Amino acid sequence: MATRGFTGRRSTGDETGRVPPGQHLVEDFPVLSAGPTPRVKLDDWSFTLKTGPRPVKSWSWAEFNALPITKMTRDIHCVTTWSKLNTPWEGVLVDDILADAGIAAPTGFALAHSYDGYSTNVPTADLIVGKAMVALRYEGAALTPDHGGPARLLVPHLYFWKSAKWLHGLQFTERDEAGFWELRGYHMYGDPWREQRYTND
Amino acid sequence: MTDAGAAALPRRWQSAKIVRIVQRTARIKSYFFDLPEPFAYQAGQHVDVRLTAPDGYRAMRSYSIASGLGGAGPLELAIERLDDGEVSPFFHDVAEVGDEIELRGPLGGHFVWSPADGGPLLLIGGGSGVVPLMSMLRELHSSGAPVPAALLLSARTWDEALFRDELIALERELGSFALAFALTREPPRRPEDYGRRADMAMVSEVMARLPALPRHVFVCGSNAFVGTAADGVVAAGVPATSVRTERYGA
């Protein structure tokens, strides 16, 4: 059904084919979060890899920054309908974290845990083979607390709430366990190209 | 708490008719919709609205629900005109009573409050960020629940304070509701108001008008505003887990 009198603004040129349905491009970088912004000191920061309840390995900030650093420039898509093209990140691929821990991905699913107590679930297949990283820098500078610093997950091909801010650890789970937003009406997988915004979309 | 499991069913798009348009401020109008399939909602939830061009191109945006009767009566959305926007100029310049607009909801299961959740309740809104907070206050008012509440509303001017007169009336009617306007471009009009941007000291003063530390805090507005206000609430001793935020745009 066409809306009377609506013509709209379409993306053009290079952007064609890069903006998923229902999304629009922004130049700035909107910030979204469920609560106050946690401020984690680098001295206190750690990242822990777990399988179920069992810790596999933890890294301090210095140890984590000594892992191989990869650059990744991607388009990102927020469920609140903004998309931003060519966002440049640097961080540690989940593949390199697993390699440093000396394990292969042990289960089919994972939960990302954040310093503010929030979590989000992502299938393991969407984290490995170069698809996702723990980002430490954006546009060449350290991540600000607003944007999830010191470190955030980056899973750019899924809606951006899956790219958990203020990342504290990654936990592999046997089942696909719903995270914070997924328990509050958001989709379990969150593919922007299939508009998987809300539960059962 | 009614936080989890709010939306187990897919929300279907429906074609809602605009039955009334009210100019609220120079830049904000309220649009009242009749829904063919009415739904119950919680204060703080939003709907997605989508507009379709003749060639099938679609634009979609989320708007917080302003009405607060949990589903009875028309659904109110208060939409601010963003001059460089795509959807809000359509509403302000084109949409008329009788037009049908596709929307779906209710959506969002985190930034929500029900009278059963109790209080004290601290609400902090910047500009049109007061919309979901207005829904909570209307819900509180119609429920008659004895929940102490306070609202700090930041606006550029007295005339740009959205829902100003209704809020002042609510302050008179509700026994335990403290209201403070923070005007950023004008001097304050009432002794309990402020003539400056919201800051930590202001947040702490408004919080002190509640009989006890707030159990639920909701902050909504621009990113910078929400950052300042939420940090102020936490600095004043409220656990971060009691503070829910919603940020509009950048």
pLDDT band at B5 (very low <50, low <70, confident <90, very high): very low
User: How far B124 CA sits from the closest chain A CA (Å)?
Assistant: 13
Pairs of residues, one from chain A and one from chain B, whose beta carbons lie less than 8 Å apart:
118
Task: Enumerate residues 6+ apart whose C-beta is below 8 A from B187.
Answer: B195
Are B36 and B58 within one domain? yes
Arithmetic mean of pLDDT, B101-126: 95
CATH number of the domain where residue B89 is located? 2.40.30.10
pLDDT band at B9 (very low <50, low <70, confident <90, very high): low
Are B163 and B65 within one domain? no
Arithmetic mean of pLDDT, A87-95: 98
Q: Which of B60, B80, B107 is the last residue of a domain?
A: B107
pLDDT band at A14 (very low <50, low <70, confident <90, very high): low
Q: What is the pLDDT of residues B204-230, one digit of tens each?
A: 999 999 999 999 999 999 989 999 999
For residues A109 and B3, what is the distance between their CA atoms, to the nearest angstrom? 24
pLDDT above 70 covers what percent of chain B? 95
pLDDT band at B97 (very low <50, low <70, confident <90, very high): very high
Residue position matching structure tokens 């009788």: B98
The pLDDT of residue B209 = 97
Q: Does B212 touch chain A (CB under 8 A)?
A: no
Q: Which of A7, A30, A184 sits opposite B3 (nearest CB)?
A: A184
Whether the pLDDT of residue A199 is over 50: the answer is: yes
Whether the pLDDT of residue A62 is over 60: the answer is: yes
Are B124 and B243 within one domain? yes
Which DSSP helix (H) or strand (E) runs through B178? Answer: strand B177-183
Record: contact B243-A36, CB cut-off 8 A: yes
Record: contact B7-A184, CB cut-off 8 A: yes
Are B32 and B139 within one domain? no
Q: What is the pLDDT of residues B68-80, one digit of tens each?
A: 977 778 999 999 9
Q: How high is the mean pLDDT of chain B?
A: 93
The pLDDT of residue A13 = 61
Record the pTM: 0.92
Tell whether the torsion through CA atoms of B60, B62, B67 and B71 is positive or negative: positive
In a domain, B8, yes or no: no
Q: Which of B79, B107, B135 is the last residue of a domain?
A: B107
Are B119 and B102 within one domain? no
Record: contact B53-A5, CB cut-off 8 A: no
Are B172 and B231 within one domain? yes
Are B84 and B138 within one domain? no
- Residues pairing with B50 in the sheet: B60, B102
CATH number of the domain where residue B239 is located? 3.40.50.80
The pLDDT of residue A15 = 73
Are B160 and B196 within one domain? yes
The pLDDT of residue B250 = 40
User: How far B152 CA sits from the closest chain A CA (Å)?
Assistant: 17
The pLDDT of residue A200 = 86
Beta-carbon neighbour count of residue A186 at 10 Å?
26
Record: contact A2-B231, CB cut-off 8 A: no
The pLDDT of residue B4 = 40
Are B140 and B227 within one domain? yes
Chain B residues within 8 A of A5 when measuring between CB atoms: 90, 94-95, 99
Residue B177 and residue B121 in contact, taking contact as beta carbons nearer than 8 Å: no
Q: Which two tokens stand for residue B14?
A: 């429906």
Q: Which of B60, B90, B94 sits opposite A81 (nearest CB)?
A: B60
Arithmetic mean of pLDDT, A124-137: 98
Are B38 and B142 within one domain? no
Instruction: State ipTM.
Output: 0.88
The pLDDT of residue B84 = 87
Q: What is the pLDDT of residues B128-176, one digit of tens each?
A: 999 999 999 999 999 999 999 999 999 999 999 999 999 999 999 998 9
Are B203 and B187 within one domain? yes
In a domain, B7, yes or no: no
**Test the B interface: residue of A1, A3, A29 with most B CBs within 10 Å:** A3
Whether the pLDDT of residue B7 is over 60: the answer is: no
Q: Which of B107, B134, B153 is the last residue of a domain?
A: B107
Domains defined for chain A, CATH in brackets: 59-194 (3.90.420.10)
Query: Which own/partner pairs from A68-76 qualify as long-range (CB within 8 Å, at least 24 positions apart)?
Result: A68/A92, A68/A93, A68/A96, A69/A136, A70/A96, A70/A130, A70/A133, A72/A133, A72/A135, A72/A154, A72/A156, A74/A154, A74/A156, A74/A157, A75/A18, A75/A156, A76/A156, A76/A160, A76/A163
In a domain, B2, yes or no: no
Record: contact B110-A9, CB cut-off 8 A: no
pLDDT above 90 covers what percent of chain B? 87
Q: Does B59 touch chain A (CB under 8 A)?
A: yes
First to last CA, chain A: 20
The pLDDT of residue B1 = 36
Record: contact B10-A185, CB cut-off 8 A: no
Q: Which of B53, B62, B109 sits opposite A2 (nearest CB)?
A: B53
DSSP-derived letter for residue B227 is: H
The pLDDT of residue A10 = 77
Domain count, chain B: 2
Are B100 and B137 within one domain? no
Which residue, among A142, A131, A46, has the nearest Cα to A94 in the 3D structure?
A131
Residues of chain B numbered 80-139 and touching chain A (CB < 8 Å): 86, 90, 94-95, 99-102, 107-111
- Identify the residue with better confidence: B3 or A63: A63
The pLDDT of residue A138 = 97
Record: contact A34-B245, CB cut-off 8 A: yes
In a domain, B88, yes or no: yes
Record: contact A183-B4, CB cut-off 8 A: yes
In a domain, B121, yes or no: yes
Q: Chain A residues with CB-CB distance to B under 8 A?
A: 1-10, 21-22, 24, 26, 28-38, 80-81, 116-117, 146, 180-181, 183-185, 197-201
Record: contact A29-B54, CB cut-off 8 A: no
Q: What is the pLDDT of residues B29-66, one digit of tens each?
A: 999 999 999 999 999 999 999 999 999 999 999 999 99
Q: Which of B10, B227, B241 sits opposite A198 (nearest CB)?
A: B10
pLDDT band at A12 (very low <50, low <70, confident <90, very high): low
Record: contact A34-B86, CB cut-off 8 A: no
Record: contact B59-A21, CB cut-off 8 A: no
Chain A residues within 8 A of B10 when measuring between CB atoms: 198-201
Which residues span the domain enclosing B53? 14-107
pLDDT band at B3 (very low <50, low <70, confident <90, very high): very low
pLDDT band at B248 (very low <50, low <70, confident <90, very high): confident
In a domain, B220, yes or no: yes
In a domain, B6, yes or no: no
